[in-house]
Amino acid sequence: MIVLIFRFLVSGNSKLSISFSYRIAPKTVHFIVISHCEAISNKLSPTELPQPTDERWKKKSEEFYLLWQFPNRIGAIDGKHIEIQTPYKIGSILFNYKKMFSVLLFTLVDASLP
């Protein structure tokens, strides 16, 4: 069952295609994926993604200003094109303005240094 969930999360395949692969009803695949993802979220959310509060936003804004002299900021975002080998029969979906095939990698960080 865990392989089914990871395959759904990693591959981007639809629940219907996964149901055909494992010979399980689509409704069953939907139930398995939803229930397990909710369980993972409920377990990890309190420690890995706590609810934001006004206090926390203000503290992050102050940290950002003290470290980087940017007022009223709580984070920074940046992106980078990662060049990839041209996929077979992909057309121009992943072709970008830099004249190469790539995927985009975005990151969002707070003021803290690693």
3-state secondary structure of 100: coil
Cβ density class 1-31: b for 16+ within 10 Å, e for less: eeebbebbeeeeeebeebbeeeebeeeebee
Give the HSE-up count for residue 113: Cα atoms under 13 Å, Cβ half-sphere: 3
pLDDT at 38: 94
pLDDT tens digits, 32-43: 999 999 999 999
- Residue bearing tokens 């990662």: 82
**Which range is most confident: 5-14, 65-74, 99-108?**
65-74
**pTM passes above 0.75:** no
The pLDDT tens digits of the residues spanning 44-101 come to 988 888 888 999 899 999 999 999 998 999 889 999 988 888 778 777 778 888 888 8
